[in-house]
Amino acid sequence: MKPQNIYIGFTTIILFLFSCRQGSEKELPVMNSIQLENSILSLTKEATNLNVPWDLQYDRINDAILFSEIGGAIRRLDIKSKQVLLIDSIPDVYQQRTLGLLGMALYQPENEQAYLYLSYTSKKDSSIFSNLYRYNYNPTGRLSNPVQLLQIPGNTGHNGSRIVISPDKKVYWATGDAATDTYAQDSTSLNGKILRLNLDGSIPKDNPIANSYVYAWGFRNMQGLTYSTEGILYTSEHGDAIEDEINLILPLKNYGWPLIEGMIDTEKEKAKVKTLAIEEPIKSWTPVVAPAGLAYYGSDVIPEWKKSLLLTTLKNQSLRILSLSDDGHRIIDEQVLFQDQLGRLRSVITLPNGDIYFCSSNRDWNPQKGFPKQEDDVIYRLRVSEKTHAPILHPQSVDTQPAAKDGHALYEAYCTSCHKSDGEGLTNTFPPLAKSNTVNGDEKALLQIILHGVQEKNMESIKYEGAMPGFSFLTDAEIITIANYIRTNFGNNAGKIESSSLTSLR
């Protein structure tokens, strides 16, 4: 431990004791109320001016929210005093775009050593790694005795990852496929998997594959992981251009990536599963919503949401309430809150008292239009209230995903999150479409890019970090509509493409 952390730990004790003597929680202004069928919820900002909080954990000993920031800091929000204290900084975190200090899991048993499990990326020479570490977590909040449990290949994207501790005291680590297509289906690789470990990092004797950490496989880039009170494990996962997923995780099951995307609904996918057993998701989204943190709500405090999964999303910038069937095996309803109001939402947790905490991610690598705002990033709280505060919000039901028809709607559904609503892209990551030679040039070359994507990451002599997926799943009419939209907007003035130009490229 660094010397300054001794001082931080001492300060933590004093502030915690002081907050206890206060005897009541500091009240914060209510931003607005959420009206449910029978309940009223209040939304408050519990902490502001944070640097991309990535994972939230509940510290029951100190009644606090422990959170990671992507740059490497671990901080603690005292629920009563609202004080935010730095607990520690992880020195070898490599932070770039989606890389950094990511998932955490806090294990606090009665009268035993508490542990904090961390997942983060590191870099040595030109190689990137994903790491799983265990630290001792003392009652004062200090970290000590770091132990590396696993290190696996990483990449400039698709590093996952979340961690949970199961009721039977096993560590589950959701790993990304490190943007390598062969890893997820390779049972000897630890990428693109759900891994299961003992608390000390050893392989459990009852794992489904002997002498292997692998519990389930076939994943692209999981961003959420949670257990229900009934002991069911769920994940949220980013698809490519389509089919973001919620999966119910079972041992020794193959979840398909990259052979299958989402539901088994194309002729090619149906042919594959005749010879290969694939587990379908219990929910998928096209257009994608960029699902992030996932939490189970099992409390009676908000009866309308009991037995639901709470999901934060980065695209559409929302908190989604996914109601589960009685057996927990199906999602039977979906409601959306805060869409495009609070920005990108990264992590969510539920507390024993029924409160819900979630955080924004507006200072990350991919800010959306109008963000970050002055107080970003923020940790929010939802709590049952006896009175309403204007403005009053109502969750919006999602029956079916509306089909995008015109060029603007299609662009917003499939292109905005990367190329932005103004077509300017993201410096060094996604190329601009505005006044682009590629957009205004040869029409068949542009259609090839839309159909099949771009992997070499070089456009007009500039190297970009972000690859582009193919959109061949769209109809010919939709592809032509998107192509003509971008060729006649963002300062572009190219000729109209006829559908016959696409026919020979399929």
Indicate if the pLDDT at residue 20 is higher than 90: no
Instruction: Note whether 459 and 441 are within 8 A (CB).
Output: no
Indicate if the pLDDT at residue 15 is higher than 60: no
Residues 6+ apart with CB under 8 A from 339: 316, 317, 318, 396
Residues 350 and 470 grouped into a single domain = no
CATH number reported for the structural domain that contains residue 424 in this entry: 1.10.760.10
Indicate if the pLDDT at residue 108 is higher than 70: yes
Instruction: Note whether 481 and 411 are within 8 A (CB).
Output: no
- In a domain? residue 402: no
Residue 107's domain comprises 3-397
DSSP letter string over 266-318? SHHHHHHTTTS--PPPSEEESS---EEEEEEE--SSSGGGTTEEEEEESSS--
Residue that terminates a domain, selected from 362, 377, 397: 397
Residues 361 and 436 grouped into a single domain = no
- Angle in degrees, CA 371, 372, 376, rounded to 5: 135
- In a domain? residue 291: yes
CATH number reported for the structural domain that contains residue 171 in this entry: 2.120.10.30
Instruction: Note whether 132 and 118 are within 8 A (CB).
Output: yes
Residue that terminates a domain, selected from 367, 397, 427: 397
Indicate if the pLDDT at residue 282 is higher than 50: yes
Residues 412 and 392 grouped into a single domain = no
List the single range of 12-21, 443-452, 489-498 with lowest mean pLDDT: 12-21
- In a domain? residue 70: yes
Residues 448 and 498 grouped into a single domain = yes
Instruction: Note whether 381 and 355 are within 8 A (CB).
Output: yes
Residues 190 and 326 grouped into a single domain = yes
Indicate if the pLDDT at residue 19 is higher than 50: no
Residue that terminates a domain, selected from 345, 377, 397: 397
pLDDT digits (tens, 9 = 90+) for 305-338: 999 999 999 998 999 999 999 999 999 999 999 9
Closest to 47 in 3D by CA, of 81, 74, 11: 81
Residues 178 and 236 grouped into a single domain = yes
Residues 391 and 411 grouped into a single domain = no
Give kind and range of the element (H or E) at residue 235.
strand 233-237
Helices and strands: H and E segment counts in the chain: 8, 29
Q: State the pLDDT at residue 402.
A: 52
Indicate if the pLDDT at residue 496 is higher than 80: yes
pLDDT digits (tens, 9 = 90+) for 386-433: 999 999 999 999 865 455 679 999 998 889 888 999 999 988 888 999
Residues 349 and 484 grouped into a single domain = no
pTM of the predicted structure, to 2 decimals: 0.90
**Overall domain count for the chain:** 2
Residues 412 and 381 grouped into a single domain = no
Closest to 56 in 3D by CA, of 249, 176, 226: 226
Instruction: Note whether 495 and 484 are within 8 A (CB).
Output: no
Indicate if the pLDDT at residue 8 is higher than 50: no
Instruction: Determine if the peptide bond prior to 431 is cis (ω within 30°).
Output: no
- In a domain? residue 161: yes
Residues 307 and 187 grouped into a single domain = yes
Indicate if the pLDDT at residue 2 is higher than 90: no
* Percent of the chain residues past pLDDT 90, beyond the cut: 78
Instruction: Note whether 384 and 354 are within 8 A (CB).
Output: yes
Closest to 434 in 3D by CA, of 458, 457, 460, 413: 460
Residues 428 and 393 grouped into a single domain = no
- In a domain? residue 87: yes
- In a domain? residue 244: yes
Q: State the pLDDT at residue 456.
A: 63
Indicate if the pLDDT at residue 126 is higher than 70: yes
- In a domain? residue 455: yes
Q: How many CB atoms lie within 10 A of CB 242?
A: 18
Alpha-carbon torsion (343, 345, 346, 350), positive or negative: positive
Residues 352 and 454 grouped into a single domain = no
Q: State the pLDDT at residue 462.
A: 76
C-alpha distance from residue 77 to each of 6, 19, 57, 65, 134 (Å): 18, 12, 10, 5, 21
- Angle in degrees, CA 385, 388, 390, rounded to 5: 135
Q: How many CB atoms lie within 10 A of CB 382?
A: 22
Indicate if the pLDDT at residue 13 is higher than 80: no
Average per-residue pLDDT for the chain: 91
Q: Give the pLDDT mean for 247-275.
A: 94
Residues 6+ apart with CB under 8 A from 224: 162, 234, 235, 236, 237, 291, 292, 293, 294, 311, 312
Two structure tokens written together for 301: 């405090």
- Angle in degrees, CA 97, 102, 106, rounded to 5: 170
- In a domain? residue 350: yes
Q: State the pLDDT at residue 450.
A: 92
List the single range of 36-50, 339-353, 456-470 with lowest mean pLDDT: 456-470
* pLDDT band, residue 505 (cuts 50/70/90): confident
